[in-house]
Structure 1
Amino acid sequence: MTGEGRVGGPYLLVMAGTAVGVCALMLRLPLWLGAGLMGAAILCGALVRLLGAGSGALAVRARAIDVLLLTGLGVALVLSGVLMVLW
């Protein structure tokens, strides 16, 4: 497939990183590890969207909105993982 319907590399990398975090949770690894992996993958997606280099399917809304939402979600997941370790 070519054009609008094609899912590109950055989107697949974010999805793969999130899937690794979910698999870590399914394998009963520590909860903070799964949350941290998912948050890191989403933060990488925010960085790719900010730089705008071939962001493909990550480009859903305006760049500023996408970066703000992805960063907020990624930071929330990483902070929740850190708080689980400290708690």
Structure 2
Amino acid sequence: MPKIEIYTKAFCPYCTRAKMLLDSKHAEYEEIDISMGGPRRTEMLERANGRTTVPQVFIAGQHIGGSDDLAALDARGGLDPLLAA
């Protein structure tokens, strides 16, 4: 399974939604909490082309986007192949 990274903040319902989708796929992921800002937030901004909202999801280094982007990818059948790679 490819490396999955998800940048999150505490009490974020969109983060919860994205994690629930990944959990439903039995995908293991690294959760990076940026609630307090700092260098990991800066890292996210650079990797996500300046997008400031959370979550920001990366699969095998590829920027997927936020919760809605992840759900749309799954709806069109594109998530499972990425997770199987």
Structure 2 length-normalised TM = 0.30
Structure whose alpha-carbon radius of gyration is higher: 1
Structure with the bigger percentage of helix:
1
Please, what TM-score do these two structures have when normalized by structure 1? 0.29
Task: Indicate the structure with greater strand content.
Answer: 2
